[in-house]
Amino acid sequence: MRRFIETLSSSFRMALQELWKNKLRTFLSLFGITIGIFCIIGVLSTVQSLEHNLQQEIKSLGTNTIYIDKWEYGAGNGPDYPWWKFVKRPVPKYEEVQEIKERTGTADFAAFKIQVTDNIEVRDNTAQVTIYGITEEFTYIQPVEIAYGRYMTDAEFETGTNAVVIGNEIAEKMYGDPERALGKSMTIRGKNCTVVGVIKKQGQQMLGGWQFDQSVVSPYRFARSIMDELKADPLILVKGKENVNSKVLQDDLRGVMRAIHKLSPTQDDDFALNDVNDFSDLMSQAFVSVNIGGWAIAALSLIVGMFGVANIMFVTVKERTPQIGLKKAIGAKSGIILTEFLAESAFLCIIGGAIGILLVFGLTKLISAVFDFPIFVSTPLLLLAVFICIVVGLLAGIIPAYQASKMDPVVAIRSK
């Protein structure tokens, strides 16, 4: 073991000497490895960060949650299902929420939502926002985090008062400072409302989602007084109990909804049960192909880099031929010579990979700052980069190292 460590240490010193002695040649040879690792870590980090952010957005729609709507959000009933059948379906109704809560044993919470996009007025300022009308249990399914002030009370939901909470961007735009919005009034479709809370800033969402930053959230009983409920995208949200699989909840809801709509066994469903978990699965499947594409791009760069390292190792063996012969003449075994050159090749690749990783870190900081899109480099990716460097180094150096280990000491010493 001690001999092996000494061999590795010696090889590392030789690799550094090679770098220092032939800077330009070594740099050009390692450039392919640098670009290859940069592509692998850069592409995979970006893809992983993108997938992570999208999955977080999907989770923000509610965990273990079913959206009951007239529209299918995914593949639906298949490409052959007539579009006009979706149009003819009845929209979800507020009265159905109570029936769902009473009949569905696997449901924990159920809420109703309506919404419109319209202008709000604060003195002489106007802004276009999404106005949500929600019922009491909405926040247990889709949390609305309050940064300033408070959330609406049960009494305000029950009586349908004009108390509202608003998004951070709306508060900044209309009042200058989110905290100054508290207690102030705004006009929505001719009716005055009082701001009781400001929602915690969410930031830009790629999938759309609820976009609370640009929204006004009000009690359902107030909202239905300023909008036509049937034309306001009504939606029922149902969250399952803990340890209840979403598929079990979905099956339970299907039976309940068919009973509520009084459908016969031969009739098709006239409603859609959209499972949030299905969105997550579809997203994961989509990113499999993206990852494969990233690996293909990186593999090409690594192959080019491997040939560059192999070239420098062939040159190194040629330059050190007399030294190799002298080592063998004083008793160095072929295995030691082979290990030295393989270790040196691996170290060269690790150095090239380290440069690539530093470039990736710089790029991630730049993108995160400019585009407000957080990109992270995970520890498994860094370990993967080191492993790839070692493997590429061994593959690139195996032939030159084998040639060096099989040299005849007399012939090698005489060579110039």
pLDDT at 258: 92
**Average pLDDT of the chain to the nearest whole number:** 82
Query: Rg of the Cα trace of the chain?
Result: 32
pLDDT at 11: 58
pLDDT at 199: 93
Q: Which residues contact 178 (CB under 8 A, 6 or more apart)?
A: 147, 148, 168, 171, 172, 198
Spatial distance between the Cα atoms of 77 and 231, rounded to a whole number of angstroms = 24
Residue 371, amino acid: F
In tens, the pLDDT along 96-108 reads 999 999 998 899 9
In degrees rounded to 5, what are phi and psi of residue 208?
Answer: 90, -75
> Sorting pLDDT into bands at 50, 70 and 90, what band is 13?
low
Residue 299, amino acid: A
Q: Judging by DSSP bridges, how do beta strands 191-199 and 163-166 pair with one another?
A: parallel
> Sorting pLDDT into bands at 50, 70 and 90, what band is 164?
very high
Spatial distance between the Cα atoms of 52 and 374, rounded to a whole number of angstroms = 10
Residue 320 in this model has a pLDDT that exceeds 90? no
Residue 388 in this model has a pLDDT that exceeds 90? no
Spatial distance between the Cα atoms of 32 and 132, rounded to a whole number of angstroms = 54
Spatial distance between the Cα atoms of 283 and 279, rounded to a whole number of angstroms = 6
Query: In this predicted model, which residue has the larger pLDDT, 189 or 291?
Result: 189
> Sorting pLDDT into bands at 50, 70 and 90, what band is 39?
confident
In tens, the pLDDT along 244-257 reads 888 889 899 999 99
Cβ 129 vs Cβ 118: under 8 Å: yes
Tell me the average pLDDT across 382-403: 85
Spatial distance between the Cα atoms of 11 and 346, rounded to a whole number of angstroms = 10
Q: Which of 319, 325, 333, 302 is nearest to 396 (CA)?
A: 302
Q: Which residues, in sequence order, are bridge partners of residue 186?
A: 193
Percent of the chain predicted with pLDDT > 70: 84
Spatial distance between the Cα atoms of 141 and 144, rounded to a whole number of angstroms = 9
Query: In this predicted model, which residue has the larger pLDDT, 13 or 50?
Result: 50
Residue 196, amino acid: V
| pTM of full prediction above 0.75 | no
Tell me the average pLDDT across 16-41: 73
pLDDT at 118: 92
Q: Which of 182, 209, 185, 186 is nearest to 196 (CA)?
A: 182
Spatial distance between the Cα atoms of 407 and 388, rounded to a whole number of angstroms = 29
Sign for the pseudo-dihedral over CA of 31, 33, 38, 43: positive
Spatial distance between the Cα atoms of 133 and 131, rounded to a whole number of angstroms = 7
Tell me the average pLDDT across 128-154: 92
CA dist 57 → 63, 80, 242, 368, 374 (Å): 11, 30, 21, 18, 13
Cβ 249 vs Cβ 278: under 8 Å: no
In tens, the pLDDT along 207-236 reads 556 888 899 999 999 999 999 988 899 999
